[in-house]
Amino acid sequence: MGFLLHDQKNTMIMSFVLVPLLLILNMHYYMLPALADSKRNVYIVYMGKRQHLDVELLTRTHHDMLATVLGSEETSEDSIVYSYKHGFSGFAAKMTKAQALKLSKLPGVIHVTRNRFYKVQTTRSWDYLGLSSTSLSNLLNKSKMGNGVIIGLLDTGIWPELEVFNDENLGPVPSRWRGVCESGEHFDGAKACNRKLIGARYFISGLEAEYGQPYNTSENDDYMSPRDSSGHGTHTSSIAGGSFVANASYDGLGLGTVRGGAPGAHLAMYKVCWRLYGGVCADADVLKAFDEAINDGVDVLSVSLAADIPLYSEVDHRGSIPIGSFHAVAKGITVVCAAGNAGPRAETVQNTAPWILTVAASTVDRSFPTPITLGNNHTIIGQAMFTGEDTVSAALVYPEVSDLMPPRNCESLLSNDDWMAGKIVLCFASDCNQSLLNDAILSVKAAGGLGVIVSRSPSNYYPYAMNFPCLQVTYETGTQILYYIRSTSNPQVRLSPSRTHIGKPVSTNVAYFSSRGPSSNAPAILKPDIAAPGVQILAAIPPFDETTNGAFAFLSGTSMATPHVSGIVALLKSLYPDWSPAAIKSAIITTALTSHQSGGPIFAEGDPPKLADPFDFGGGIVNPNSAADPGLVYDMNTENYVQYLCAMGYNNSDIFQLTEHPVVCPSKQPSILDVNLPSITIPNLKKPTILTRTVTNVGPLNSKYKASVEFASGINVAVRPETLIFSSRTKTISFTVMISSAHNVNAGYYFGSLTWTDGVHVVRSPISVRTEVGESFF
């Protein structure tokens, strides 16, 4: 399942795999070998809040501090990699382990950590979400398509010449914008940027300093500039804020108008990921991108990066995303991050800090049915992206082996299996390892096969986008085809081109690969927060060569779901510029869809599939038009996040350095259940528990809301007061929720909801409760 991208500057062809498990820039932490000096590595010195506003003085302070450890001003100048001076204070520099230890003991230094590296792991969706450009009453048009909002993306770069980044009919660049369009290899900043792409930077000093030698762009098929060589950053950028491009498709499939969620918004790219060793993003570079984006003036940050399990805590400075995003949110910037692609296993969700808006991936109501006609004239429908006008007819084969030998599943097929030449192969996938399956499909092609029918679990079932007939069917359908093969001495098959189907009976599901909760870091904080389209999303990619079909491609992953929500956040920010990141997050979560638009339930793909719950999709599937009029919001500010950090038991001094004012946690540790989230999660309910929430009225001044609770039998929920009355003088009201359990055994989670409604607005908070009786042996 893949397509080939060919870089015009290099004759090497790179296979780009369209695998849900790989299409997020998934952060695998590891250390690169230091080639230049094995004793000196890059360390990140984190100093927390800025002590003053003079950035030049702050930079000098960093150099002076480093000089006291390294011994001279000259050595300090040569060793420093970055000075972090906008959103927070700190620097990255090359030093020995002993020097790093000495530096960590200096006054004002919170933490010194070794630089780490992260390894690199859409037409229908906006109409599906109710944001058709032809409707005058939806959020898209009410917000003037996100006019004036700036979306920043931390990614692999961008291809600025594409039509999807044209600035026709866009307003002027906002006067508050302080960013730059940085020139570099095959990237002229004076020409690349316009009123759509208003800024582009690249960050590689952290990578090069750790690697110990200059990054060779020729060897790695990359550009020393903001230009995108992989396609990932271009794809996510066009989803978030691309301009209108009519008649876009993948070789005729998914034909329609491509655009971003906020086509009136401006974009700024921060390239932090490079193609060394298959794709890496250095911690120091990611943190520097956050620092510059905060200073540049972005309104939204879209980050399709995620950390591996186990996670670091929010105050552990070995994680650049929790720290960088905290400072961004403190400045009013909403940070939207991918939940990760490690599903469907539980406790795999990433980017779990409560100030981050964490996005899971869901499907849309679109499929690509592809007829498979057997030699007995029986036609079966598979799923594929088999394009073109011609059918493919050939003998149909299955790799039969003796019962004494291991079965020849799909993953075992090899390029030297000459029995596949000139034939169409049926195989059964035995593993969820998508990379192995992709290799097997390419082996069929290399062996001279004319096509392949892959039989696999329907829970992990997405069509391949490649110029080779590769169809998917369920195990049940595959077995029927096998029965036909075994029933005749000369089995034949005809594969017909795919077509695009929209609407019923295709339903919405949480994607198989999408990482699931509960959070392994803080189980009482519901994650993910929301789900959005992330499966087979058609969007722009660099025009490497003709095989990319007009510079549009289908990609899948929470990387694709994240910019969907980032675009929606931009629309909301344009409509409500004074709303905090927490208010925007609340509006999105409490108005989400928990059932299909046709009325049916939403399932979570897995083995087996199940009804989706809050650990699969948070509040539900994003519902942008309702989010534009939520009625009530659960608002939060930096003090509320400090309450969370205190509730987690973090050290006072660490918390203090994240804030702009002194912090002393109360002697009695606050309850994490009282953090003012638009959700309630109790991982260990031992006795009746009372928690508090506060809502702010953002609807009509004179409003009356009544509470209703839905929950499984045995969990009791009481809300006091049951009625909230708002007026011009009363805009914020607190209420309590008492939750108790009649269950007398330790079991799994029970799910329900608390909903406030005034007859017009429906403000729904998901509830997740697990009973713990006596001593837990789990």
Q: pLDDT digits over 663-696, tens only?
A: 899 999 999 999 999 999 999 999 999 999 999 9
The mean predicted confidence, pLDDT, of the chain is: 87
pLDDT band at 115 (very low <50, low <70, confident <90, very high): confident
For residue 120, is pLDDT > 70? no
Give the 3-state secondary structure of 6-46: ECCCCCCEEEEECCCCCCCEEECCECCCCCCCCCCEEEEEE
Q: pLDDT digits over 180-190, tens only?
A: 999 999 999 99
Question: DSSP strand E in 366-442: where?
Answer: 366-367, 369-374, 379-383, 392-397, 423-428
In the annotation, is 743 catalytic?
Answer: no
pLDDT of amino acid 408: 81
Q: pLDDT digits over 580-604, tens only?
A: 999 999 999 999 999 987 778 999 9
| Positive/negative CA dihedral, 138, 143, 147, 149 | negative
CB 499 within 8 A of CB 369: yes
Residues 467, 442: Cα–Cα separation, whole Å: 11
Only one residue has tokens 């409509």, namely 575
Closest by alpha carbon to 659, among 290, 315, 330? 330
Query: What is the mean predicted confidence (pLDDT) over 50-58?
Result: 79
In the annotation, is 559 catalytic?
Answer: yes
Q: What is the CA radius of gyration of the chain?
A: 27
The sheet carrying 749-757 orders its strands as 680-685, 762-771, 749-757, 703-711, 723-726
For residue 650, is pLDDT > 90? no
Query: What is the mean predicted confidence (pLDDT) over 406-422?
Result: 88
For residue 346, is pLDDT > 80? yes
- What is the SS3 assignment for 355? coil
CB 368 within 8 A of CB 329: no
Q: Annotated catalytic residue: which of 125, 155, 443, 743?
A: 155
Q: What is the DSSP string of 71-116?
A: SSHHHHHHHEEEEE-SSSEEEEEEE-HHHHHHHHTSTT--EEEE--
Query: What is the mean predicted confidence (pLDDT) over 438-457?
Result: 89
Q: pLDDT digits over 238-250, tens only?
A: 999 999 988 888 7
Only one residue has tokens 């339903």, namely 507
Q: 399 — phi, psi (to 5°)? A: -75, 80
pLDDT band at 648 (very low <50, low <70, confident <90, very high): very high
Q: Annotated catalytic residue: which of 125, 302, 515, 559?
A: 559
Closest by alpha carbon to 244, among 131, 125, 139, 123? 123
Residues 287, 272: Cα–Cα separation, whole Å: 9
For residue 432, is pLDDT > 70? no
Query: How many CB atoms within 10 Å of residue 702?
Result: 11
pLDDT of amino acid 23: 45
Q: For residue 55, how far is the Cα from the chain centroid?
A: 32
Tokens at residue 210, please? 């750790």
Tokens at residue 609, please? 């599939």
Q: Annotated catalytic residue: which of 232, 235, 317, 743?
A: 232
pTM: 0.87
Question: Please, what's the b/e burial string for 344-382 (b: 16 or more CB within 10 A of its CB; e: otherwise)?
Answer: bebbbbbbbbbbbbbbbbbbbbbbbebbbbbbeeeebeb
